[in-house]
Every structure is written in structure tokens, then in C-alpha cells.
Structure 1
Amino acid sequence: MDDDHINEDYDDQPRYRSVAKIGPGDLVEALKSLAGFSENPFLVVQAGQLCMVDNLLNALEDDVMCHQADDDRPRGKMALLGALSPMWIYAAYELQRTWRQRCEEVIKLADSGGLDFKAGHLERDLGYRHYDRELRAEQLRDAQQRPELVAQMRIDLRRTEIGFTTLEFIRVALAKHEVSKKGSKKPPIAFAPGMAHRNQYCGSLEYEMSNGGTIIGTVTRRDIAETIRFIPETENPSDEALASFRAYMNPPDIDPFARG
């Protein structure tokens, strides 16, 4: 086989799978697979809403991609993608942040032996019913009786860290016009926050991940959604892999005008 044929075969490989192969409920089912997620009806409802908007965006992105070479491109749909994509990213981030925060609280209480005390505090009589306090107390009691649930939360937090950190990076740039830097009291200003290009392979908006003068990568809205959909298949990364990823996402600040 000659080199030209090899290059042809490589170029023919799709970078993204067809929208037709994405199940309409795949995203919500993936989120429900996370430890402690499906037991919270409020999170499940939000996941369903996120999934519905994702399906809408998938169809819009696919339509825009199919007509990107037209003389009269669907500018109205392109503008709608530009408006809805950041909103979806915000929602995806907040939903996962809430789940992670709940897991971290459960793990901290389990490690300190405070599950019973916290549950009792939430169960005290307020003179009226507070549904989410009751739900949280029930979940803490469940974690108290099922140590394996707490163990799975630890694993799921690790399994989803890379995807969530990438999502957080984009969200901070879009919403706060800053670079997401852990432990920084004065985060750097984001480079051209909100600016995005349309990815030619899937029609999704593609965002540049910049940290100062360093471009560490690009990510599309479809990439974020696919990362969520593949949560059930995501392996638990090694400590070395996580350390390497954290260093990659937080490169050192470089002053090009500094001496030496």
C-alpha cells in the first residue's frame, strides 16, 4: 500500500461519531451512574434538562456542519448555537460541581465520624417540612450504613476529575473572564473570553484553552458532552496520571521580559 493510500484512509476517519449514534438519553443515564447521583431527584431532573438541551444542540450543530459550505449559510442557527452553547456549559458545570460538592461533604464526614451528627442536625424540627434537608439527611444515613457507597464516591470523583477540570477551565473563562488557577488569589485575565470557532467536523463551537501566553489545548462543546456520556466507561486514573494532568492544566507563569 502506498503512502497516498495510507493518508487517504487516515483522512477518511471521522473525528466525531454521527449524531444518529448518540442515544437521546445517554447523557442523563451516564450522570445517573455516578455514586449518589440517582438517589437525588433534584439532580436527576437537572440532568434530564441538560440532556434535552444537549440533544437540541447536537441537531443544530449537525445541521450547521452540513450547510457550512453553502453560499447562504444558516446564520440564524449559527447565532443560536453561539448563544446556547455557553449556557449549556454553565449548566453542565454547575450540575457536576453540585454533585462533587455533595460527595466531598459525605467523604469528609465519613472520615471524621460526623455522618450521624450532621444527619441529626438536618433532621431537627424546623416547624415545617424542608424537603432537601430531609433528602440530604437520608443520603447521609445511607452513606453511614453503606461504606461501599463512600468508597465509590472517592473513585467516581477521581474518574471524573479530568473531564470536570477541563469543563471548569472553559466555564471560568466564559463566565468570569479569568483563567482557572487553583489556589490563585488573583487569577490571570482570560485571553479573548467567549471567543470560539465552529469545528468543521461536528459543527460544535470550539474554545481555546489559554493560560497567559500558553495555549494548552482546544475543546468543543461536543467534547464536553461526549466526556459526560462516556463516564460509565471512564477508568480510575493512576496518581501519576492525575499529577501529570494537573501540571498540564496549570503551567508556571512566565514573564517574557524578566531577566534570565
Structure 2
Amino acid sequence: MTDDFEPDYDPPYELWDQIDFSIVTSEFRWLPLFKDDLWLGMQAMNVGIADSVITEHEYALLREYFEIEKTPLESAMAVSALSQMWIYGLYEVLRMWRDRRFQFKKLYDNGGIDLKIANLPDDDAQNMSTDIRRKQLELYRSDASYRDSIEKTWELLEPIFRMVELFRINLAKHCAPGKDGAIPRAPGYGRINRWCGAMDYELLDKDGYYQIMNRRDIADALRRTLKEI
């Protein structure tokens, strides 16, 4: 960023060159269930890589917006599209993590892990994912600290997941979470945030209230959470 974006007061968002993008790129993939699954860990890492790229586009949009003193439509549409795709991608990564936690816990509580392991195919040497899943299940069955670490991690990740879920349901399904009959008034329409260039969206929650949120809010919340874990 240029010196033109150096305010003499504390802005609500860190500037692009002040953000530690490695927090998501490096730390996200080392959470339990991510770190012992190569492919799921790669998806978590991709969230951080894409965040860095999109953030740069957001600030470029903000600079262009100030320079021409009106909304640059093509740039705004591109940032909006990238923002929404990032949200959808993060949602799928978190949903996969949440669902695996739920499945493992259900199997453990019902005494079904041994049967699940026995039913996994063991004759496909080229399918590394099967071996990863087996090892995760065996560790979950035998190691209480591993189970505890997953539960503690979910306690911290769930608020992020709910933010992403609200965003995703409004923009992808045009309703509020858990309320198919609650229809947002302008799903997918965003306005340029004057501090960080991210697209601000009106999101309708299940109680019928609107809140303003942008992709950067979620990325920053994820970074803060990962620092705590």
C-alpha cells in the first residue's frame, strides 16, 4: 500500500502490509484433523493463500474508488465474486472439519469405531486417504487428549463457522440460516467498505435482524482465533 493510506488515527482494519497472512496459511492446517490429513490440511492452507490475494484486490479496489470518486463497476464485481467464492470455500473446509468431528464422536459414543475401521478398504495401496482416515479413527479411539483437543478446537472454531454460515446461506441460498421463509432483501449486493475495500453485505439472521458483514471481518476473526489455539 502507498503512504496515501497511512491514517493519523487507528483504523478499524489493519493495512494490507500490516497483516500477518501466514497465520491462516501456516497455522490453520496444524489444527487437529487438519494436520493429520494431508488433503484437508491443503484445503485449509488454500484458504490463507486466497485470503492474501483477495485482500490485495480489495485494497486496489478501494484505491481506485477514491481515485475516480465513484464505484468502479468491473473491479467491484470482480472483488465481490472473489469474496463470495472465498466464503463458500471456507465454509466447505469448516463444514468438512465439523462433520468429521461429529462422525468420529458419534462412532466413539456408540462403540462403532472398530466396525468402521474394519469396513475401510485396505487393498488400495494408491489411496492414501483411506490410510489417513484409519489412523485418525484409531487415534480418536485410543487417545483421550486427542478427543479433547478436537472438542476444544471446535469451541473456538464454531463462532467462525456461524459467521461463515450466515454469510453463505444469505448469498448462496437467499434465505436466513434455518429460516427458508426469511428472504434477504438484496442477497449478493455489496457496497465497498471505505476502510478496507472489502464488500459489505446486508445479512439476515434467523431472528429477522440485519447485520453488515464483509469477507475481511471473517478473515480477521479467523486470524484472531488461530492465535488463541
TM-score under structure 2 normalisation? 0.86
Letter in 1 for 2:133: R
**What's 2:113 paired with?**
115
CA 212–227 in structure 1, closer or farther in 2 if over 3 Å, else same: closer
Contact conserved, 1:35 with 1:153, CA < 8 A, in 2? yes
Distance 1:194 1:227, change over 3 A: same
Q: Percent identity, aligned pairs only? A: 27
Equivalent in the alignment of 1:5: none
The C-alpha deviation readout for 1:38-72, integer Å capped at 9, x for no partner, is: 11111122122222221111101112223322227
The number of aligned residues is 221
| CA–CA distance in structure 1, aligned partners of residues 224 and 207 of structure 2 | 32
| Aligned residue type for 2:12 | R
Cα distance, 1:196 vs structure 2 = 1.2
| Aligned-partner residue type, residue 118 of structure 2 | G
Give the CA RMSD over aligned residues: 2.3
1:70–1:213 distance in 2 versus 1, CA, 3 Å: farther
Q: Is the 8 A contact 1:30 1:228 kept in 2?
A: no
**Quick check: 1:98 aligned with 2:92?**
no
Q: 1:88 matched to which residue of 2?
A: 86
Aligned residue number for residue 212 of structure 2: 218
Give the aligned partner of residue 27 of structure 1.
Answer: 24
Structure 1: distance between partners of 2:98 and 2:88 = 15
User: Which is worse superposed, 14-23 or 89-98?
Assistant: 14-23
Query: Residue 192 of structure 1 corresponds to which residue in structure 2?
Result: 186
Unaligned runs of 5+ in 2: 1-7
Given residue 12 of structure 1, which amino acid in structure 2 is its aligned partner?
Y
| CA gap 1:211/1:20 in 2 versus in 1, 3 angstroms | same
1:35-184 aligned at under 5 Å gives the runs 35-71=32-68, 74-125=72-123, 129-181=126-178
The verdict on how the C-alpha distance between 1:143 and 1:213 changes in structure 2, with shifts beyond 3 A counting, is closer
Cα distance, 1:209 vs structure 2 = 1.9
The range that moved more, 69-78 or 192-201, is 69-78
Contact 1:208 1:215 in 2 (8 A): no
- Tell me which amino acid in the other structure corresponds to 1:135: I
